[in-house]
Structure 1
Amino acid sequence: MEIPHISVLLEQVLESFDTQEVQKGGVLLDCTLGFGGHSCALLEAYPNLEIIGIDQDKDALAFSMQRLKKFGNRICFRDGRYSAIVKELLSDKNLKQRIVGILADIGVSSMQFDNKERGFCFDSPNLDMRMDQMRQESAKEIVNHYKLNDLERIFRDFGEIREYKKLARLIVEQRKIEKFDSAKSLSELIARHFKHPKIHPATQAFQALRIAVNDELGELERLLQCLSENPLNKGARVSIISFHSLEDRLVKQYFKEWEKDCICDSSVIRCVCGKKHRKGKNLYKKPLCADEKELKENPRSRSAKLRSFEFRG
């Protein structure tokens, strides 16, 4: 099969799950199966491992079912949003006992970017950006119908755009003349009014819209909150690949909280919680990033960061 997507940080992912628990066998949840690259490598590297692959993109699921069928019943597939499915799976006590790892690659695949019909790229004739194409609201609805202050909030909070007010105002003024019907028309408007020395001027705006359309930060936080309330068994690990500071900051904050023994409020003079709340350890002081070889082979890996946490049960 022709593989339409290069999985980032593949060696680092394999390293992060190189544990006795994984080698002995157990279940790993791949929250963002995509086109199966990480799951394929993990199943090949660890012959006793089983995987439950989750994705909301039906095209990706169909491709991965075909690609990974050689592994037989060592892999099964779930269609939907990973936060809800992981919560459901962890509620099964028998299954939870067997879970040795959780992987989440929080990003858009190369195939989604390169397929102009999906509306993720700057020159797309569509303005969509839905990972799950059954979702009702696309980027087109947001850009053409959201109020000014809602657009400002999206570009400020999800794109970290300094001139977010200017961008939102330009969009509102332009859509009074003509509605946006393509990603190309939006990116051209942004390029006319903004400049950036290193990236396309519309990069941060498109990121912000994509996050809003797919509720990406909400999904990630719901997963992390689920693990806060229902930690994995001793030795199990969670590895998360992020692609921008908003995601990475969220993962870093949760891992830091999970390492704390004491959860008393800072205003408390003396600890009253018992100092027995530590969930495990952060495996890497700094996130793992792509090496020079990977950067040459796959420039899109330049912003990928991997953080891993091991639970102590």
Structure 2
Amino acid sequence: MHQSVLQKQIVEVFKYIDSIDFVDLNENPIVVDCTLGYGGHSLALLESYPHIHIYAFDRDEYALSLASKRLESYRNRIHLFHQPFSHIFSHLSAQVCSRIKGIIADIGVSSMQLDEVARGFSFNSPLLDMRMDTQQNLTAAHIVNTYSSHALENLFRSYGEFKESKKLAQLIVERRKREPFQSCFDLSSFVEQHFRRQGLHPATLVFQALRIEVNDELGELQKLLDSLSQTYDKGYLRGARVGIISFHSLEDRLVKQNFKQWSKSCICPQETYKCECGNHHEKGYILTKKPIVPDSDEITHNKRARSAKLRVFEYRND
């Protein structure tokens, strides 16, 4: 049975919710699961804390259908939405927002998507797809076979941090003139032929870059962070905790930077000699000076967990 990364740690992060005193039984605290996947985090929270309700989002319709079956016994306490996490607050009423005490997001592709070869994520897949939402048009095949050499170079350098991005882009453009890339297996084999293996499979960072581009992962994450900040500014999320799990440095950097900005008391421009803003603008507090990472046991049982990092922020309650 698939177990979500850092599941025990997520349960511990939101343990405080169980002690919140809600006088009215209809006012149970809400946790928003921005990336439901197979429902591991939501299931663990529902099992651990009998008073919470969960509003869960995912843009992968297949994942939602599987999670719905897995969470059937908790159907009275969970509400499912087929939407990307950047749109969550446009689907939640003011009454719901006023009860939110936790937000979790597990950013990136799930093990379930990687393991399903028909989804076109894995090195051996007969497709070159990588769409989390299969209803969207942009695929990895379109990117590899139509983007210019310059665009591919920027993509592999910015999103994959691939050291020889220019060489790879040129090789891809030359090869597709003869024959377009049709499958993940074709692309991963091609990369392996031209670049040496240095620990990771040489196509790992290439696939990362393509997946980020196909699903606009960094853009979606920034939209989520912006919507959280805006929702707090409207008077909601008081005392709520935000836990975000990322799997590569670009995502983690984005989360770290936004949490740091939210915790700033003074928001005056750096060149300001003396504070003029009132020095009381912090939205809350960073609870993880260093990110929470999987222990050795979890990594032993799930190699994909080794790069996971969890950062937690708590909004002010005044």
Q: Distance in 2 between matches of 1:21 and 1:266?
A: 41
State the match for 2:69 in structure 1.
Answer: 66
Taking a change above 3 Å as real, the CA distance of residues 125 and 158 of structure 1, as seen in their structure-2 partners, is: same
1:267 matched to 2:271? The reply is: yes
CA drift at 1:87: 4.3
Shift of 1:85: 2.0
SS at match of 1:265: coil
**Is 1:32 aligned to residue 29 of structure 2?**
no
- Counterpart in 2 of 1:10? 7
Q: 2:255: which partner in 1?
A: 251
Aligned residue among 280, 284, 288 for 1:280? 284
Offset of residue 230 of structure 1: 2.1
Q: 1:307 aligns with which of 302, 305, 311?
A: 311
Which residue of structure 1 aligns with residue 25 of structure 2? none
Q: CA deviation at 1:69?
A: 1.1
Q: What residue identity is the alignment partner of 1:53?
A: A
Query: Could you tell me how far 1:198 is from its partner in structure 2?
Result: 1.1
Deviation string for 1:11-38 (max 9, x for gaps)?
1111111114675531111000000100
Shift of 1:276: 1.3
1:239 — aligned with what? 243
Q: Report the TM-score when normalising by structure 2.
A: 0.94
Segments of 5+ residues of structure 1 without an aligned counterpart are: none
Q: Is 2:97 the partner of 1:96?
A: yes
Q: Shift in Å at residue 6 of structure 1? A: 2.4
RMSD: 1.2
Distance in 2 (CA, whole Å) between partners of 1:161 and 1:46 is 43
Matches of 1:235 and 1:18 in 2, distance apart? 13
CA contact (8 A) 1:262 1:274 kept: yes
CA distance in 1 between partners of 2:195 and 2:80 (Å): 43
Q: Is the 8 A contact 1:23 1:46 kept in 2?
A: no
Q: Residues 128-147 of structure 1: CA distance to partner in whole angstroms, max 9, x if unpaired?
A: 00000001010000000111
Determine the structure 2 residue equivalent to 1:221: 222
Q: How far did 1:298 drift?
A: 1.0
Deviation at 1:83, TM superposition (A): 0.8
1:113-153: CA deviation from partner (whole Å, max 9, x where unpaired): 11111111111110000000001010000000111111111
Structure 1 SS opposite 2:180: coil
Q: Residues 185-224 of structure 1 correspond to what in structure 2 (within 5 A)? A: 185-224=186-225
**What are the ranges of 5 or more consecutive residues in structure 2 without an aligned counterpart?**
22-27
**1-structure distance, mates of 2:211, 2:114:** 11
Could you tell me how far 1:268 is from its partner in structure 2?
Answer: 0.8
Asked if 1:48 is matched to 2:45, the reply is no
Is the CA contact (8 Å cut-off) linking 2:17 and 2:29 kept in structure 1?
Answer: no
Q: Identical aligned pairs, as a percentage?
A: 52
Q: Which stretch shows the higher mean deviation, 240-249 or 225-234?
A: 225-234
Specify the SS of the correspondent of 1:200.
coil
May I ask how many residue pairs the two structures share in their alignment? 308
Q: Does structure 1 retain, via aligned residues, the 8 Å contact 2:18–2:51?
A: no
Specify the alignment match of 2:78 in structure 1.
75
What amino acid maps onto 2:128 in structure 1? L
Structure 1 length-normalised TM: 0.96
Write the mapping of 1:115-130 to structure 2, written as runs, cut at 5 A: 115-130=116-131
Contact 1:31 1:105 in 2 (8 A): yes
Q: Report the CA distance between 1:310 and its aligned residue.
A: 0.3
| 3-state SS, counterpart of residue 103 of structure 2 | strand
